């Protein structure tokens, strides 16, 4: 699977044939965040989660509060699309169903934001001959008509859609030593499938008569299988139709994250063990699990204040205080405690967490700049 952006994996996980597909190609810095979070895992740590508002990749004009979604990537020459499908192995009607999934993915994303209200118009319009190239922009009178009909301030369109599928199987030979001491070769087959989706988007603002965004996403998913024969290996691959639809949904969701801040769930790790404070740490962990943050913080604050020469325990307690502060929405206090854990007690995980908090503070400022200003 292409991993051009692990950040968005937190936003959405799609189950495909008991495996997960995550939308990709999003804000690069979050891959760093995930790396930092991964470094926090330890046998002496447990995890909790919180919901944060993730900034969009771009800031839209403040007057846009409702967007209408339109699909205008229907091929004007349907036979070209059918012929292409015959060469690429796509099922008849596959692209249309996948386009619907892309629209659904976008609207699903935009229902998760406080920035917009979304209207899925169900409108399907023809674009380029094959539907896989960006056509000429919509006429502004058409954009204005759609906005008037659906009470919207802007129109988001799928301008082009293309999917490609390929599947193959190769022979795999594995040497093994039998009980009789002789060498044997086991033969199996490994199937590989690659499903790609490319979508072109435009966002029209009729008030300014400006195309605010023109963007193309190009993502793919690779799946593998095994079988005793070449045919078995190919048959064990997931349905191309279902995978293409899932990739299209993910790409639609991805575009939603490009234009709107989205609520996402993130994970945080905290200590539940510290030498000399076994009972207290376990009790605080129970409080945290039950979302009783203040009661947990009371215990950790006392440990930090009384640990004396036990800097390891004090550092862990201070680190946990930082986590509690973030859970309570106080990022400044979280940063203070993380710095204390790192600088005063040498807690290495706190050094990473400081960067996480600083990125969150930056995200909060970005989100504030992307949200409409409240009228006094």
Phi-psi region of 93 (alpha: psi -120 to 50; beta: other; left: phi over 0): left
- pLDDT over 90, % of the chain: 73
DSSP notation for 218-248? EEEEEEEEEESSHHHHHHTSPPHHHHHHHHH
- The model carries a pTM of 0.78
pLDDT for residue 9: 37
pLDDT for residue 78: 55
State how far the Cα of 40 lies from the Cα of 335, in Å rounded to an integer: 16
Task: State the distance between the two ends of the chain, measured CA to CA, in whole angstroms.
Answer: 48
Backbone angles phi, psi at 214, to 5 degrees: -135, 115
Residue 192 CA, distance from chain mean position: 24
CA angle 335, 340, 342 (to 5 degrees): 95
What digits encode the pLDDT tens for the residues 251-288?
Answer: 999 999 999 999 999 999 999 999 999 999 999 999 99
State how far the Cα of 64 lies from the Cα of 119, in Å rounded to an integer: 13
> Which residues fall within 8 angstroms of residue 180, CB to CB, at 6 or more apart?
none
Q: Exposed, middle or buried, 80 (CB in 10 Å: 0-12/13-18/19+)?
A: middle
Tokens of 199: 């979508």
Angle between helical axes of 331-343 and 348-370 (0-180°, round to 10): 160
Backbone angles phi, psi at 146, to 5 degrees: -65, -45
> Which residues fall within 8 angstroms of residue 52, CB to CB, at 6 or more apart?
263, 264, 266, 360, 363
Cβ 285 vs Cβ 324: under 8 Å: no
pLDDT for residue 127: 79
Q: Exposed, middle or buried, 57 (CB in 10 Å: 0-12/13-18/19+)?
A: middle
Q: Where are the alpha helices (DSSP H) in the chain?
A: 29-38, 78-88, 94-110, 140-150, 230-235, 240-259, 278-289, 293-306, 311-327, 331-343, 348-370
In which residue are the tokens 């093994």 written?
Answer: 176
pLDDT for residue 149: 97
What digits encode the pLDDT tens for the residues 11-41?
Answer: 333 333 333 344 444 433 444 444 444 444 4
Tokens of 113: 């934001």
Sign of CA dihedral 142, 148, 154, 159: negative
State how far the Cα of 84 lies from the Cα of 65, in Å rounded to an integer: 39
- Residue by residue, pLDDT tens for the chain (376 residues) are 453 443 433 333 333 333 334 444 443 344 444 444 444 445 789 999 999 999 999 999 999 999 999 999 988 765 445 445 544 555 556 788 999 999 999 999 999 899 999 999 999 998 776 667 789 999 999 999 999 999 999 999 999 999 989 999 999 999 988 888 889 999 999 999 999 999 999 999 999 999 999 999 888 899 999 999 999 999 999 999 999 999 999 999 999 999 999 999 999 999 999 999 999 999 999 999 999 999 999 999 999 999 999 999 999 999 999 999 999 999 999 999 999 999 999 999 999 999 999 999 999 999 999 998 875 4
Angle between helical axes of 348-370 and 29-38 (0-180°, round to 10): 150
- Report the b/e string of 293-330 with b at 16+ CB within 10 A: beebbebbbebbeebeebebbbbbbbbbbbbbbbbeee
Give the closest residue to 293 by CA, choosing from 347, 330, 262, 258: 330
């Amino acid at each position: 699977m292409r991993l051009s952006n692990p950040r968005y994996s937190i936003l959405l996980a799609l189950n495909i044939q008991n495996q997960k597909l995550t939308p990709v190609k999003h804000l690069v810095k979050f891959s760093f965040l995930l790396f930092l979070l991964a470094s926090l895992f330890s046998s002496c740590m447990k995890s909790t989660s919180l919901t944060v508002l993730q900034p969009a990749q771009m800031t839209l004009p403040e007057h846009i509060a409702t967007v209408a979604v339109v699909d205008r990537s229907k091929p004007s020459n349907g036979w070209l699309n059918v012929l292409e499908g015959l060469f690429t192995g796509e099922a008849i009607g596959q692209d249309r169903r996948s386009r619907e999934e892309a629209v659904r993915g976008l609207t699903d994303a935009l229902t998760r934001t406080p920035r917009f209200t979304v209207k899925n118009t169900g409108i399907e319009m023809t674009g380029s001959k094959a539907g896989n190239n960006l056509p000429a922009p919509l006429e502004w009178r058409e954009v204005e008509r759609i906005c008037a009909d659906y009470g919207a301030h802007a129109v988001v369109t799928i301008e082009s859609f293309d999917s490609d599928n390929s599947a193959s199987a190769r022979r795999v030979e594995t040497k093994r030593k039998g009980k009789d001491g002789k060498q044997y070769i086991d033969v199996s087959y490994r199937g590989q499938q690659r499903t790609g989706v490319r979508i072109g988007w435009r966002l029209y603002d009729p008030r300014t008569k400006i195309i605010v965004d023109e963007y193309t996403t190009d993502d793919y998913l690779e799946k593998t299988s095994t079988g005793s024969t070449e045919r078995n290996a190919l048959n064990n691959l997931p349905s191309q139709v279902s995978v293409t639809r899932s990739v299209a949904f993910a790409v639609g969701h991805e575009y939603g994250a490009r234009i709107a801040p989205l609520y996402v769930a993130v994970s945080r790790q905290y200590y539940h063990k510290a030498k000399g404070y076994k009972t207290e740490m376990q009790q605080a962990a129970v409080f945290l699990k039950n979302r009783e943050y203040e009661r947990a913080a009371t215990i950790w604050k006392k440990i930090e204040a009384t640990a004396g020469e036990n800097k390891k325990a004090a550092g862990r307690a201070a680190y946990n205080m930082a986590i509690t502060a973030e859970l309570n929405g106080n990022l400044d206090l979280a940063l203070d405690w993380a710095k204390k854990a790192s600088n005063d007690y040498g807690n290495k995980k706190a050094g990473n967490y400081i960067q996480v908090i600083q990125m969150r503070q930056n995200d909060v400022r970005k989100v504030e700049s992307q949200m409409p200003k409240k009228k006094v």
